[in-house]
């Protein structure tokens, strides 16, 4: 529906031609990745400064119009869909790297800076930002969704590497949380309140981040197994040994079949496979690799192959990061529903086995990948969007993954977040008291209910 005329006038006064209500522009941010359902906003605003974001919030609050923050659109759970119309605030033009403090290993960036752009800027200084969710996501979006990725087993998630934020509240106030110090006991931890809030409490416009030195030596490797359970048992043994890989990724046989066809991986069979990477000094890396090779052999692991050159490592991880597209290539023309869960590592094999059995029972193709060093795995469920029954089975499988995760002592999402798709599962993970506390926070910080409504916290 059209924006209310006075709101349109106020926004145009602030942004000029950086406000668009054309259908083509509004459609783009209305879906994100994952399911192709679309709910476009009524307008898209392209601010360049925090002050402009604040002015947009003031105008929208006065008009009681929803606000949907937008980064790069790589979220998977419907986070950016404008369920009630409103104004999408596209932060992609806020892409300045404000400061890099090499001595203190930190930096400050605007929300629209992507992780790849930051690492390109940092590489000549011997520094890097390690979190790697696969997609070239914006750092503001990664903070808003509490993202992690392939390096989380060593470097943590966004909650571990964000030191502070600049946030515009729904009323248009600008607040700064945290700072550059590595720890603080000064009051409520507002930084972590906004991390993972999925745009429902405010708009993140700047992020203060921890950085790390580029490792002296980096070694990648693959090892294959006769069965999925053996690969997971190897992961458990590796983590208990203290070998400390920076990355340890699992691809099941079906996902390997897809990646071999899509990325042209040579020398690998369509078997359950671990992709690993080790960081450190040459001696430490060699010792870690030797330990993992020996442990894998105990569980039937074969074809342990190292990729030491930059070119070989890049090819390997490009194949891993292309797993989403490779999996969709298994059934051209079909849509996909991507879900995730996280469980204690000791329960990972049982949980994955139960989810794979559910996919078979429902007659669905659903390859599995996982950041298994921290117990996180994903299923990409393929279905025909024209077949209502098949879509229903796909959604049933996503529900079953959540059920199995909770039954195995885990959580309904390790990194995708809630968005709109996992609202029902939130009621299964959290008791009434916890959900009530979340609703109270939402009501206190967003009393008009205009910040990304219909997401993250289920209604009472």
What's the pLDDT score for residue 76? 84
What's the pLDDT score for residue 38? 81
Q: Do domains 5-90 and 331-416 have the same CATH topology?
A: no
Q: Tell which CATH classification among 3.30.43.10, 3.30.360.10, 3.60.10.10, 3.40.80.10 matches the domain 5-90.
A: 3.30.43.10
What's the pLDDT score for residue 266? 82
Residue 436 confidence (pLDDT) above 70: yes
Contact 415, 147 (CB under 8 A): yes
The string of pLDDT tens digits covering residues 337-384 is 999 999 999 999 999 999 999 999 999 999 999 999 999 999 999 999
- Distance, first Cα to last Cα, the chain: 28
What's the pLDDT score for residue 115? 96
Instruction: Point out which residues pair with 212 in neighbouring strands.
Output: 128
The top-level CATH class assigned to 97-213 is: alpha beta
| Over residues 261-285, mean pLDDT | 94
Q: How many CA within 13 A on the CB side of residue 312?
A: 15
The string of pLDDT tens digits covering residues 177-209 is 999 999 999 999 999 999 999 999 999 999 999
> Which CATH number does 331-416 carry?
3.30.70.2740
What's the pLDDT score for residue 135? 85
Say which residues have a Cβ less than 8 Å from residue 437's Cβ, sequence separation at least 6: none
| Domain chopping of the chain, boundaries | 5-90, 97-213, 217-315, 331-416
Over the chain, what is the mean pLDDT?
94
Exposed (0-12), middle (13-18) or buried (19+): which is 37, by Cβ within 10 Å? middle
What's the pLDDT score for residue 34? 65
Contact 371, 249 (CB under 8 A): yes
Q: For 52-61, 106-115, 284-293, 315-324, which range has the lowest pLDDT when averaged over its residues?
A: 315-324
Q: Tell which CATH classification among 3.20.20.70, 3.40.630.30, 3.30.70.3450, 3.40.30.10 matches the domain 217-315.
A: 3.30.70.3450
Bridge-based pairing of strands 87-90 and 43-45 is parallel
Residue 421 confidence (pLDDT) above 70: yes
The string of pLDDT tens digits covering residues 403-415 is 999 999 999 999 9
């Amino acid at each position: 529906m059209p924006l209310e005329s006075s709101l349109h006038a106020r926004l145009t006064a602030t942004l000029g031609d950086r406000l668009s209500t054309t259908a083509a522009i509004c459609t783009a941010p209305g879906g994100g990745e994952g399911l192709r359902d679309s709910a476009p906003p009524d307008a898209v605003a392209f601010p360049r400064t925090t002050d402009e974001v604040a002015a947009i919030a003031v105008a929208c609050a006065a008009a009681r119009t929803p606000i949907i923050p937008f980064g790069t659109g790589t979220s998977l759970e419907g986070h950016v869909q404008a369920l009630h119309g409103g104004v999408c605030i596209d932060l992609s033009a806020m892409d300045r790297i404000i400061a890099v403090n090499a001595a203190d290993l930190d930096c400050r960036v605007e929300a629209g800076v992507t992780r790849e752009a930051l690492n390109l800027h940092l590489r000549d200084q011997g520094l890097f930002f390690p979190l790697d969710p696969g997609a070239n996501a914006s750092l503001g979006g990664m903070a808003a969704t509490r993202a992690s990725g392939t390096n989380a087993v060593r470097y943590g998630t966004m909650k571990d590497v964000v030191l502070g934020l600049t946030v515009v509240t729904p009323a248009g106030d600008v607040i700064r949380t945290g700072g550059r110090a590595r720890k603080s006991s000064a009051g409520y931890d507002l930084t972590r309140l906004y991390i993972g809030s999925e745009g429902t409490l405010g708009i993140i416009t700047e992020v203060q981040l921890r950085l790390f030195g580029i490792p002296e030596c980096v070694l990648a490797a693959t090892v294959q197994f006769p069965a999925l359970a053996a690969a997971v048992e190897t992961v458990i043994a590796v983590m208990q040994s203290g070998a400390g890989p920076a990355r340890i990724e699992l691809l099941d046989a079906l996902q390997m079949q897809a990646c071999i066809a899509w990325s042209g991986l040579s020398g690998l069979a369509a078997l359950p496979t671990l992709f690993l990477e080790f960081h450190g000094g040459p001696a430490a890396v060699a010792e870690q690799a030797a330990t993992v090779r020996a442990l894998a052999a105990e569980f039937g692991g074969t074809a342990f192959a190292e990729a030491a050159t930059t070119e070989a490592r890049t090819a390997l991880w490009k194949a891993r990061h292309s797993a989403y597209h490779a999996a969709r290539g298994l059934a051209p023309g079909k849509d996909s529903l991507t879900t995730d869960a996280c469980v204690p590592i000791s329960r990972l094999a049982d949980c994955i086995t139960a989810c794979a059995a559910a996919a078979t029972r429902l007659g669905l193709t659903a390859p599995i990948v996982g950041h298994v060093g921290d117990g996180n795995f994903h299923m990409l469920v393929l279905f025909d969007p024209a077949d209502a029954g098949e879509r229903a089975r796909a959604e049933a499988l996503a529900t079953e993954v959540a059920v199995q995760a909770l039954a195995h002592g885990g959580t309904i999402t390790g990194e995708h977040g809630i968005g709109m798709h996992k609202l029902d599962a939130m009621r299964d993970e959290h008791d009434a008291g916890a959900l009530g506390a979340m609703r109270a926070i939402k009501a206190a910080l967003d009393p008009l209910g205009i910040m990304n409504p219909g997401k993250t916290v289920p209604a009472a």
